[in-house]
Structure 1
Amino acid sequence: MTSEQATYARVIRRETHSPRSGLAIVLAVILILVCAWLGTEIVLALLGRPALLVAPVDMGRGVVAIGRYPTVPVIIAGVIVAIIGLILVVVSVSAGRRARHVLPSQRSAIVVDDEVIASALARQASYAGNIDPDDVEVRVSRRSASVRIRPTSGQSVDKDAIEHAVTEMLERYQTAPALHARVSVQKEAKVGA
């Protein structure tokens, strides 16, 4: 892999995956607030003042005496903390995904927003079916493109022609990850103007 290709791969990765900085900032703020609260409680205890919520001595006694508490609430609290921890680990390890796809190119990095692909597929479906573009709704997800057609009353729609045109367009695009088209025609037609 040349340095140019490595640069393109890095750009593509950055543009198609979302960072976890938002979650990291929220967790850091929560941790800072907890540490500030604990520090305030310790200072208040050293000055002989009443605690804001719980005195540090009482917190320590509560942790030491956890075996004397009823078992069910302690287990429930432990399960809740474990689930929150598991969710945070999964979120931190898994990559976030932006609504974008990559198009093949030897000379550059091409990243296309899913809305652009949806717009092109809607236009292609309206041309292939000889229907109004407002009658076509397209949603693009990670692996599929869903084309929904709501024809005007009294107008017939050739679903196979539309499906062929949309599939052919997706094959030309060669998106990564690959998209598969699903075309559906609603039974309830809208009233023509």
Structure 2
Amino acid sequence: MTDTTLRTVVRRETHSPRTGAMLTVVILLLLALAYAGTEIVLALTGQNPLLIAPGPALQAAVDAPDALAPAALYVIGAGLVIVGVIVLVLALKPGRLSRHQMTWGERAVVVDNGVVASALAQHLSTESGIARDDIVVGVAHRSVDITVRPPLGVPVDQAQLRRIVEQEIAGYELVPAVRTHLSVRRPEDKEAR
């Protein structure tokens, strides 16, 4: 597999398509066109309009700048700009799936964030001697949050835990890279709140 093909496959597996947003916009446009077509056909056949006939609707649109106060025009314009910006952002900004690219030897592997979190929690448990149930790991797009809740009386070296976590994450070679946040919360921390 070539580098270009590999990059394309990894991108497809880590980014969500914008099909849903595009489909919503297309359906709304088709409904608006269907309504306009229905009103035109009703006007041409001489029947009563569903809401407003095309002639009076067009005339109301032409008269709107004179009929509406300038503040109302600004509000309508601002609303249309906001809708346009939202649609533009949805079209251009890539969606993200909860996955990362990980280097595995000479290959790139796509792994789910839950798998990374589980592997990291298990490794930290094995290396530190803290029970797996006392370690909570959450992996986001650019960060890893680790909360260690050791039982009372169990000594914890936070610097050692941080070294274990940093070495393990460095070994994963995640793309995009992640920052780690480690916190140790004892049972008395909960009671103090």
Confirm or deny a common fold (TM above 0.5). yes
Equivalent position of 1:33 in the other structure: 31
Contact 2:135 2:147 in 1 (8 A): yes
Give the C-alpha shift of residue 96 in structure 1.
1.0
Match in the other structure for 2:124: 125
Match of 2:18 among 11, 17, 20: 20
Name the residue aligned to 1:54: 52
* Post-superposition CA distance 1:140-188 (Å, at most 9, x none): 1122111011222333322222111111001111111112221101243
- SS of residue paired to 2:77: helix
Preserved CA contact (<8 Å) 1:41 1:54: yes
Match of 1:147 in 2: 146
Aligned twin of 1:93: 92
What is the match of residue 6 of structure 1?
A: 4
Percentage of identical aligned residues: 36
Per-residue CA deviations over 1:116-140 (Å, capped at 9, x if unaligned) read 1000111122223322211111111
CA drift of 1:105 comes to: 4.8
Output the amino acid matched with 1:171.
A
Give TM-score scaled by structure 2 length. Answer: 0.90
Kindly indicate whether the alpha-carbon contact (under 8 Å) linking 2:151 and 2:187 is maintained by their aligned counterparts in 1.
no
Contact 2:152 2:186 in 1 (8 A): no
Distance 1:32 1:38, change over 3 A: same
CA contact 2:147–2:183 (8 Å) conserved in 1: yes
**Contact in 2 for aligned 1:41/1:52 (Cα 8 Å):** yes
Which segments of 5 or more consecutive residues in structure 1 lack a partner in the other structure? none
Partner amino acid, structure 1, of 2:18 = R
CA contact under 8 A between 1:101 and 1:175: conserved in structure 2? yes
> Residue 109 of structure 2 aligns with which residue?
110
Q: Which runs of 5+ in 2 are unaligned?
A: none
Residue 170 of structure 1 contacts residue 180 of structure 1 at CA under 8 Å; is this kept in 2?
no
Quick check: 1:42 aligned with 2:40?
yes
Which residue does the alignment assign to 2:182?
183
Name the structure 1 match of 2:76. Answer: 77
- Per-residue deviation, 1:104: 2.2
* SS in structure 2 of the partner of residue 109 of structure 1: strand
Match of 1:172 in 2: 171
Cα distance in 1, alignment partners of residues 4 and 104 from structure 2: 13
Distance (Å, rounded) in 1 between the aligned partners of 2:70 and 2:122: 62
Residue 6 of structure 2 aligns to a residue whose secondary structure is helix
Question: Over aligned residues, Cα RMSD in angstroms?
Answer: 1.8
CA distance in 1, matches of 2:105, 2:184: 38
- Supply the AA of the counterpart residue of 1:80: G
| Segment drifting more, 105-114 vs 15-24 | 105-114
